[in-house]
């Protein structure tokens, strides 16, 4: 299979580039794109391949009956409870009859071969495409996506997805329902764990890294997966953080905050997109023509396939926006959506919609073309079994070196929130000898606690193996003992019923310890789809256990295993060291031990604000100032609460290291910037501590005189640098007029002349600043 990715899906070049988008780019960028465009013409192999695919698609389409066409738009779940029952609902019969285009969530390898054989044996032999939610690893389980984003390490994220794609493709999967790029500002929303946090800029960079990792440089290779960017769009803004809930927002906010990662993903060449479950300003996303046709396909020139979310075509009826299957089919297809996941709405309604003139044959053909193009570009027509080679499968799944990558990424993702008196890292020969590791997550037998809802009940029951998780105790005991510590591990059950017993166990276990490592947090299954909560505080007796463990000011390290921002205000005040571990995946314990022993110097930074209390939600760094910003809690006639501060517990971008970094003043190459010029923002960062370390240098911008109120700060760049002790490095960010532009209320993307501030620092709060002016 020749290269197909660039031309088919990575869009952009001038043919597909929307005028408006082209106009808002700087001349330099446009010149670069034009050169790329010319370069693409020189890749004749690629050109031939697209032409070849288009020709083959048309030939095939001409032979297809209406029933077969509708079949290609129909995606059905494998039996996700056992993963073995291919005979269920005569699945094989339907496949043989050409009534199924795709299978999702199926893990049984032999069954996939059986199903593919059935598809190849159908009248036209159109192969199936197998889709799967590869969310944080396929067999080797990496940290959850939110944790990965906390690494701010795009190369590491790309590498993790590369491994996930190697494994999934070797196990017969062709298409991942990932990345989820929904910006989320509400920790109550369970799916916050699946995204990259609250910021559209960071979210865009992470989306690109994930797509590069999964799709590689050529979708036609059999070790890559087609990506599916989801959930388009607005899903992260469900009212009250309640999953599937209503989303209502201005078009301005949509374009500024929600859409940038989607646009970045489309331009990075994602093969497919997925609709969201929610309504956006009243219109269910699956039948939202403005989103799918006008913006995605029109403005961004996306040529790929759009699949519904699970029965989201059918749910347009439940939303009250469609009358029946026929109406829903007509509305979703004409909005620009193509494939029906799991609901069967098209199966029941699309023919009727055609017969009644609600959709045209041409519209159906266009959707089918997109499905066929995906299959051709994956090479499935050339060899339907190219992802189903048992030898490759055995050689690829869970290679030992993948575990090492998972361990490194988990350690990079951890965020050190507090480290009074340099309690960490633990050093041999220090004041402590006896260490107790305690808490419900010290050694949980439910290994899924260190993973996520995605590793529960998806695919074969044995697809994910909890016993492969290295728990904190399993790793901390040997590594600390090797350093001369005496280590005891005390497990505590996580259940309201265990409360009384737990407290006395914790009391005894920690009584004569010199130092306590208390492992608290939430279960992996307490976060994820349909797992919204109204309280983000530590559950059950965990705060009490922490209080007991640290009684008498005993040195205590609190390791939090969490999928969302959590609140622990007592610990913030009283516990000297707090480490956010997230759900780190299979290598949880090893990564934690690496950080606690100083083998790895923590460098993670929060991709999402941690509130003081749930009542502060939504609280995010890129907010507007309001006319009455609050300086101090309780200050009347200002925007805030009487009973909570206006500032969060830990701000976006925050995270400590075992070393310290000093930032020089911010230098600009000019204080007046004209259109077409480049503003250089430089800062020198010095490692002033006693250990080598990594720092994420962050650049923020504030527009002080735009036509509308602009956020207090907006992330516009970051660079992760490594510095030895006393080493320094000058980091230079380059900003152009495009970086100063925003969507105004007339929906124009433009920069207004006037004053701006730039800020540089190691988080969104502690920054150095400088001012400049845009002159036009
Ligand atoms: C989720 C999607 C997922 C799909 C298939 C839906 O319930 O919202 O994110 O890709 O199921 O598993």
Tell me the DSSP string of 728-772. EEEEEEEE-HHHH-EE-TTS-EE--SEEEEEEEESSSSSEEEEEE
Using a 10 angstrom Cβ sphere, with 0-12 exposed, 13-18 middle and 19 or more buried, the burial of residue 392 is: middle
336-350 pLDDT, tens digit per residue, is 999 999 999 999 999
Q: Based on the residue annotation, tell me whether 309 is a catalytic residue of this protein.
A: yes
Place 322 in a pLDDT band, splitting at 50, 70 and 90: very high
Q: Which pLDDT value is given to residue 87?
A: 52
Closest CA to ligand 1's atom 12? 133
Number of residues in the chain: 776
| Mean pLDDT, rounded, for 715-721 | 98
Q: Which pLDDT value is given to residue 359?
A: 98
- pLDDT > 90? residue 32: no
248-286 pLDDT, tens digit per residue, is 999 999 999 999 999 999 999 999 999 999 999 999 999
- pLDDT > 90? residue 575: yes
CA-CA distance, 141 to 465, in Å (whole number)? Answer: 10
pTM: 0.93
Closest CA to ligand 1's atom 6? 310
Residues 6+ apart with CB under 8 A from 267: 10, 11, 12, 300
Higher pLDDT pick, 430 / 579: 579
Query: For the chain, first and last CA: distance in Å?
Result: 50
Percent pLDDT > 90 in the chain is 82
DSSP string, 152-170: T-HHHHHHHHHHHHHHHHH
Percent pLDDT > 70 in the chain is 90
Q: In this structure, what token pair is assigned to residue 173?
A: 């999967």
282-302 pLDDT, tens digit per residue, is 999 999 999 999 999 999 999
Q: Which pLDDT value is given to residue 326?
A: 98
38-62 pLDDT, tens digit per residue, is 333 333 344 458 889 999 999 999 9
- Output the CA 539–ligand 1 centroid distance in Å: 27
Q: Which pLDDT value is given to residue 554?
A: 93
Place 541 in a pLDDT band, splitting at 50, 70 and 90: confident
Q: Which pLDDT value is given to residue 504?
A: 80
The single residue of 171, 309, 340, 703 carrying the catalytic annotation is 309
Q: Which pLDDT value is given to residue 463?
A: 73
Q: Are 416 and 579 in contact (CB under 8 A)?
A: yes
Cis peptide before 538 (omega within 30 of 0): no
Q: Which pLDDT value is given to residue 9?
A: 27
Q: Label the pairing between strands 102-104 and 129-132.
A: parallel
Residues 6+ apart with CB under 8 A from 366: none
Ligand 1 closest atom vs CA 342: 5
CA-CA distance, 512 to 549, in Å (whole number)? Answer: 10
Q: Which pLDDT value is given to residue 84?
A: 43
- pLDDT > 50? residue 552: yes
Q: Which pLDDT value is given to residue 5?
A: 27
Q: Which pLDDT value is given to residue 491?
A: 85
Ligand 1 closest atom vs CA 180: 9
Q: Are 770 and 757 in contact (CB under 8 A)?
A: yes
| Mean pLDDT, rounded, for 330-340 | 98
Q: Which pLDDT value is given to residue 400?
A: 96
Ligand 1 closest atom vs CA 105: 12
Weakest-pLDDT range from 152-166, 392-406, 549-563:
549-563
- Output the CA 310–ligand 1 centroid distance in Å: 6
Question: Which residues' Cβ are closer than 6 Å to ligand 1?
Answer: 104-105, 133, 177, 230, 309-310, 529
Place 20 in a pLDDT band, splitting at 50, 70 and 90: very low
- pLDDT > 60? residue 8: no
Place 361 in a pLDDT band, splitting at 50, 70 and 90: very high
- pLDDT > 70? residue 121: yes
Place 539 in a pLDDT band, splitting at 50, 70 and 90: confident
Place 303 in a pLDDT band, splitting at 50, 70 and 90: very high
Q: Which pLDDT value is given to residue 23?
A: 37
- pLDDT > 70? residue 89: no
- pLDDT > 50? residue 169: yes
Number of H helices, E strands in the chain: 25, 27
Q: Which pLDDT value is given to residue 172?
A: 98
Q: Which pLDDT value is given to residue 497?
A: 67
| Mean pLDDT, rounded, for 383-398 | 98
Q: Which of 105, 133, 275 to mutate to test the pocket of ligand 1 (most atoms within 8 A of CB)?
A: 133
Weakest-pLDDT range from 308-322, 347-361, 544-558:
544-558
- Output the CA 177–ligand 1 centroid distance in Å: 7
Could you say which DSSP state residue 498 is in?
G
- Output the CA 159–ligand 1 centroid distance in Å: 24
- pLDDT > 60? residue 34: no
Q: Which of 233, 310, 531, 532 to mutate to test the pocket of ligand 1 (most atoms within 8 A of CB)?
A: 310
Q: In this structure, what token pair is assigned to residue 256?
A: 């500024």
435-456 pLDDT, tens digit per residue, is 999 999 999 987 678 999 888 6
Please report where in the chains the tokens 């709405």 appear, as a residue: 345
Q: Which pLDDT value is given to residue 12?
A: 26
| Mean pLDDT, rounded, for 595-624 | 98
Residues 6+ apart with CB under 8 A from 95: 115, 118, 119, 122, 128
Weakest-pLDDT range from 73-82, 524-533, 546-555:
73-82
Q: Which pLDDT value is given to residue 44?
A: 38
Q: Which pLDDT value is given to residue 79?
A: 61
| Mean pLDDT, rounded, for 706-712 | 97
CA-CA distance, 129 to 103, in Å (whole number)? Answer: 7
Ligand 1 closest atom vs CA 458: 12
Mapped onto helix, strand or coil, the DSSP state of residue 185 is coil
Q: Which pLDDT value is given to residue 487?
A: 97
Weakest-pLDDT range from 19-23, 154-158, 403-407, 564-568:
19-23
- Output the CA 309–ligand 1 centroid distance in Å: 6
Q: Which pLDDT value is given to residue 88?
A: 60
**Mean pLDDT over each residue of the chain, to the nearest integer:** 91
Residues 6+ apart with CB under 8 A from 48: 2
- Output the CA 315–ligand 1 centroid distance in Å: 14
């Amino acid at each position: 299979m020749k290269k197909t990715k660039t031309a088919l899906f990575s869009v952009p070049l001038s043919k597909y580039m929307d005028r408006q988008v082209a106009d808002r780019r700087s001349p330099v960028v446009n010149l670069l794109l034009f050169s790329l465009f010319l370069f693409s013409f020189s890749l004749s192999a690629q050109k031939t391949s697209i032409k070849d695919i288009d020709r083959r698609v048309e030939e095939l389409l001409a032979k297809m009956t209406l029933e077969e066409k509708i079949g290609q738009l129909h995606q059905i779940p494998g039996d996700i409870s056992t993963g073995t029952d291919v005979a269920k609902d005569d699945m094989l019969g339907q496949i043989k009859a050409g009534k199924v285009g795709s299978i999702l969530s199926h893990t049984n390898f032999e069954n996939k071969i059986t199903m593919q054989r059935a598809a190849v044996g159908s009248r036209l032999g159109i192969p199936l495409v197998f889709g799967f939610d590869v969310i944080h690893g396929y067999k080797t389980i990496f940290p959850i996506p939110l944790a990965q984003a906390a690494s701010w390490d795009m190369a590491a994220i790309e590498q993790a997805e590369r491994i996930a794609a190697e494994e999934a493709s070797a196990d017969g999967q062709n298409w991942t329902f990932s990345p989820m790029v929904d910006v989320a500002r509400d920790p109550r929303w369970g799916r916050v764990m699946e995204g990259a946090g609250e910021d559209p800029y960071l979210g865009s960079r992470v989306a690109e890294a994930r797509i590069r990792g999964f799709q590689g440089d050529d979708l036609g290779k059999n070790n890559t997966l087609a990506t599916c960017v989801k959930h388009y769009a607005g899903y992260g803004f469900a009212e009250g953080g309640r999953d599937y809930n209503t989303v209502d927002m201005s078009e301005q906010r949509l374009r500024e905050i929600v859409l940038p990662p989607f646009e970045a993903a489309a331009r990075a060449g994602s093969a497919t997109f997925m609709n969201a479950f929610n309504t956006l300003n009243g219109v269910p996303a699956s039948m939202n023509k403005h989103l799918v046709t006008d913006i995605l396909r029109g403005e961004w020139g996306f040529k790929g396939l759009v699949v519904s979310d699970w029965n989201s075509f059918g749910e347009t009826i439940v939303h009250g926006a469609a009358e029946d299957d026929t109406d829903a089919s007509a509305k979703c297809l004409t909005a620009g959506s193509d494939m029906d996941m799991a609901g069967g709405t098209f199966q029941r309604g699309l023919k009727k919609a055609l017969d009644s003139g609600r959709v045209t044959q041409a519209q159906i053909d266009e959707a089918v073309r997109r499905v066929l193009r995906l299959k051709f570009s994956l090479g499935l027509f050339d060899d339907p079994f190219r992802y189903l080679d048992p030898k490759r499968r055995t050689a690829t799944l869970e290679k030992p070196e993948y575990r090492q990558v998972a361990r490194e990424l988990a350690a990079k993702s951890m965020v050190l929130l507090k480290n009074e008196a340099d309690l960490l890292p633990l050093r041999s020969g220090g004041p402590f000898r006896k260490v107790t590791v305690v808490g419900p997550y010290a050694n949980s037998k439910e290994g899924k606690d260190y993973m996520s809802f995605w590793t529960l009940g998806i695919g074969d029951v044995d697809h994910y193996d909890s016993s492969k998780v290295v728990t904190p105790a399993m790793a901390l005991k040997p590594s600390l003992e090797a350093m001369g510590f005496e280590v005891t591990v005390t497990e505590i059950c996580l259940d309201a019923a265990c409360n009384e017993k737990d407290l006395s166990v914790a009391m005894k276990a920690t009584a004569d310890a010199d130092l306590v490592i208390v492992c608290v947090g939430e279960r992996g299954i307490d976060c994820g789809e349909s797992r919204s909560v109204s309280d983000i505080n530590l559950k059950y007796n965990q705060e009490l256990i922490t209080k007991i463990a640290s009684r008498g000011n005993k040195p205590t390290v609190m390791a939090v295993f969490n999928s969302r921002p959590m609140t622990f205000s007592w610990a913030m005040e009283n516990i000297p060291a707090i480490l956010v571990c997230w759900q780190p995946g299979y290598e949880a314990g090893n990564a934690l031990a690496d950080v606690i022993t100083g083998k790895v110097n923590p460098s993670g930074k929060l991709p999402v604000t941690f509130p003081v209390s749930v009542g502060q939600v939504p609280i995010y760094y890129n907010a507007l100032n309001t006319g009455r910003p609050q300086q101090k809690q309780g200050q009347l006639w200002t925007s805030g609460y009487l009973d909570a501060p206006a500032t969060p517990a830990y701000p976006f971008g925050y995270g400590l290291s075992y070393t310290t970094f000093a930032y020089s003043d911010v230098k600009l190459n000019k204080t007046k910037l004209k259109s077409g010029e480049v503003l250089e923002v430089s800062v020198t960062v010095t490692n002033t501590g006693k250990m080598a370390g990594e720092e994420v240098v962050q650049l923020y911008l504030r527009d002080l005189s735009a036509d509308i109120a602009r956020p207090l700060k907006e992330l516009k760049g970051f660079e992760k640098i490594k510095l030895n002790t006393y080493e320094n490095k000058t980091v230079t960010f380059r900003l152009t007029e495009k970086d100063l532009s925003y969507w105004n209320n007339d929906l124009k993307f433009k920069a207004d002349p006037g004053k701006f501030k730039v800020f540089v620092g190691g988080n969104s709060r502690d920054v150095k600043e400088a001012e400049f002016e845009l002159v036009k």
